[in-house]
Chain A
């Protein structure tokens, strides 16, 4: 990108300097303008989505994601985070279906959406088999997703004694 184009983009981002990062200058002026002027992104419930992460996406993806019907469901509004533009729509839908199957929809997190669907299903089935609750109390007197479902494979193994790779392999061989 030449200096003139950079200056045009910088002018668009006046008073929005928090959106400036190295990835920005790999995008076109038209895309930056689209992001800043998009009516949906300007709405209160979507305002948190306009971070520098958005420069890694494109107009088509943003429009598809913003129009997903799941955002009409109050259970999933909290999942409207900047990285939602990076996760494939089918991945999101599959993991939401999984959450609904096990009645944990209201408690799922962005990390839940990112995990491999088959791995998650087998981990959930394993926890159910071991009579481990999927939803637990949180520190504020409410409920939350069991932290096991948000932990890394390293923590699963070292802290919970769960060898997820072994569980997945066994599941695939059934």
Chain B
């Protein structure tokens, strides 16, 4: 999927509020957590990168505890689980 196809899925408010530094920090964090579906997240959950990095890490730790340290694995099987970041 090209960049245009990705961004046209989102409201302008999402695209306007994306902060490059925040996005990069979250990407690096997910890479460190051995996330193997980063491309899916970038394509389908670009708005997840709006979450402030520190809030993201806090929420991730809570979710990972909930899913017995397998949150990313569970989310890879069912991407709907990523919606829990927004609750």
Contacts and interface: CB of A to CB of B under 8 A. Distances in A.
Interface of A: 21-23, 26, 51-53, 56-58, 61, 81-83, 85-88, 91, 109-111, 114-116, 119, 147, 150-155, 159, 168
Contact of B10 (A88, A115, A153): A88
Contact of B14 (A56, A111, A154, A155): A56
B40 A154 contact: yes
B83 interface: yes
Interface in B18-75: 36-37, 39-40, 43-45, 47, 50-52, 54-55, 75
A87 B9 CA distance: 6
20 contacts: A56-B13, A56-B17, A56-B50, A57-B11, A57-B13, A61-B13, A82-B83, A83-B86, A87-B11, A88-B9, A88-B10, A111-B83, A114-B9, A115-B44, A116-B43, A147-B77, A150-B79, A152-B75, A154-B36, A155-B76
B9 A111 contact: no
Contacts of B45: 114
A146 B10 CA distance: 25
Given A21-B55, A81-B83, A82-B86, A147 B78 contact: yes
* Majority DSSP secondary structure for residues of A touching B: helix
The size bracket of the interface on B is 20 to 34
Nearest to A65: B11
B1 A116 contact: yes
A53 B82 CA distance: 13
A91 B8 contact: yes
A111 B44 contact: yes
Nearest to A26: B17
Nearest to A22: B52
Contact of B47 (A83, A147, A154, A168): A83
A52 B51 CA distance: 9
Given A61-B11, A86-B14, A152-B40, A119 B1 contact: yes
